[in-house]
């Protein structure tokens, strides 16, 4: 089973039409990535403040299937794929927890992350702790 992150949609997540603003859903996907890291024992402060390496997102894509509104509960299922020495892809399936199965999937997204040395902006190997986190998430799926 993929890693699952549950969250309520808040008013601040929505746009003038009352539905989740696209960039905010990508931010929620990133929250689920952070939750995965924390669940595997990675210190988030240390991971995101590392001075020698960074793991930026180099590609992001999202498809919306149903609107998500304030007060609805969503479940983000996160599945790492395409793990290579210096990069990986995360697939996200966003489901509405309180809807019937016929329209439960509200969106799907993916992000591609590349590990770089911050001083030279060159690709470098993923940290061992991150590799283990991603592999464990795949094995538990």
The catalytic residues are 15
Q: What angle, rounded to 10 degrees, do the helices at 128-139 and 22-39 form?
A: 100
Angstrom distance (rounded) from CA 23 to CA 41:
28
Count the helix, strand and coil residues of the chain and give each as a percent rounded to the nearest 5.
Answer: 30, 40, 35
Angstrom distance (rounded) from CA 36 to CA 91:
13
Beta bridge partners of 64: 107
| Strand order, beta sheet including 3-8 | 3-8, 73-81, 87-96, 105-114, 57-64
CA 31 from centroid of its chain's CA atoms: 6
């Amino acid at each position: 089973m993929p890693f699952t992150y549950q969250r309520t949609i808040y008013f601040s997540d929505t746009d003038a039409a009352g539905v989740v603003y696209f960039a905010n859903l990508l931010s929620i996907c990133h929250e689920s990535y952070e939750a995965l890291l924390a669940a595997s024992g990675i210190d988030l402060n240390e991971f995101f403040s590392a001075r020698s390496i960074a793991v930026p997102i180099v590609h992001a894509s999202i498809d919306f299937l149903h609107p998500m509104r304030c007060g609805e509960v969503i479940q983000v299922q996160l599945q790492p794929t395409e793990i290579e020495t210096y990069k990986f892809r995360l697939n996200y399936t966003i489901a509405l927890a309180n809807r019937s199965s016929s329209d439960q999937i509200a969106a799907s997204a993916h992000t591609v992350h590349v590990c770089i040395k911050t001083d030279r902006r060159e690709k470098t190997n993923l940290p061992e702790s991150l590799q283990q986190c991603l592999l464990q998430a795949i094995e538990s799926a």
